[in-house]
Amino acid sequence: MRRLTFMFVALFVTLTAARAEPQWLTLPPTPTLPQAAKSGYAPVNGIKIWYAEFGAGAPVILLHGGLANANYWGKLVPALAPHYRVIVMDSRGHGRSSRDQKPYGYDLMASDVLALMDYLKIDKAALIGWSDGAIIGLDIAMHHPERLTKLFAFAANSDPSAVKDVEHDPVFSAFIARARREYEKLSPTPKEYDAFLKQITKMWDSEPHWTAADLAAIKVPTWIVDADHDEAIKRDNTLFMADNIPGSGLLIQPDVSHFSFLQDPQQFNADVLHFLEHVKGK
């Protein structure tokens, strides 16, 4: 009887494993951030930016993607905090941060990051960005290179034409539905998600527009990183950016998508740590 039970259990495990979706087709739960050493609201550019700090050492700023919030870094922060002073923030109008009537734009959002750095008395920092956060990092690298030591840009695009149609993608659709729930829970304007989404979508449809010459002006040590199953970013554009940023590294993470840091945090964290430890900064 025990032998028969074992055989049924083994068969069930085998069939379950066979039916399991590849991790790039999953959207694991949004993690939570660990206990912060310091957190609060910084009055910058006429709005309030929520931020939190962890650990000690050389500063590393983490910038989340569009519609998301700083909680998405909940798997990365514990890996970095034993070695670095880690700062997370909610971009304007995202998460716990407020916004004003200015239209969203990457230059404006980059100025928020710089203003927060000034508020926290950080002259320069390494920056890890995901999607919109990576685009903001590239914007800073172009226009204010003196503020960055190095840049890890995951899932960025240099032009709106580089973004795939994700309207019917199941993972991205699940993310957008989740983003609404999280916005309603965290935002100081919880009933304005539709207006917020409309404004962000307008930015996505119109920015950025960086040429090869724009990218060639970046002197900050940079890695251009993407996932081999990114459902949002066209591979040609990832290669275009890596080819035109002088001395940049190119990394394509295997078996993950636009949400790599949730799907395979061990791999993502190891790549970020390797970058921070081994890429010489400015």
pLDDT in tens, 96-115: 999 999 999 999 999 999 99
CA distance 93 to 116: 15
Q: Residue 53 has which token pair?
A: 């700090």
H or E element at residue 223: strand 222-227
Q: Residue 225 has which token pair?
A: 């990183």
CA distance 262 to 223: 20
The pLDDT assigned to 113 comes to 98
- What is the rounded average pLDDT of the residues 236-262? 98
The pLDDT assigned to 20 comes to 79
The pLDDT assigned to 72 comes to 98
**254-279 tens-digit pLDDT:** 999 999 999 999 999 999 999 999 99
CA distance 259 to 99: 25
SS (H, E, C) 81-111: CCCCEEEEECCCCCCCCCCCCCCCCHHHHHH
Given CATH 3.40.50.1820, say whether it is the number of domain 2-278. Answer: yes
Q: Greatest CA span in the chain, whole angstroms?
A: 72
Report the share of the chain in percent with pLDDT over 90. 91
User: Taking the domains of the chain in order of start, what are their residue ranges?
Assistant: 2-278
Question: What's the distance, CA 17 to chain centroid?
Answer: 30
Residue type, 47: I
- Mean pLDDT estimate for the chain: 94
Q: Which whole-number Å values give the CA distances from 14 to 1, 5, 7, 19, 277, in the listed order?
A: 20, 14, 10, 9, 40
Contact 51, 98 (CB under 8 A): no
- What is the rounded average pLDDT of the residues 163-176? 95
The pLDDT assigned to 17 comes to 44
CA distance 67 to 196: 9
- What is the rounded average pLDDT of the residues 139-158? 98
- Among 11-25, 145-159, 214-228, the least confident range: 11-25
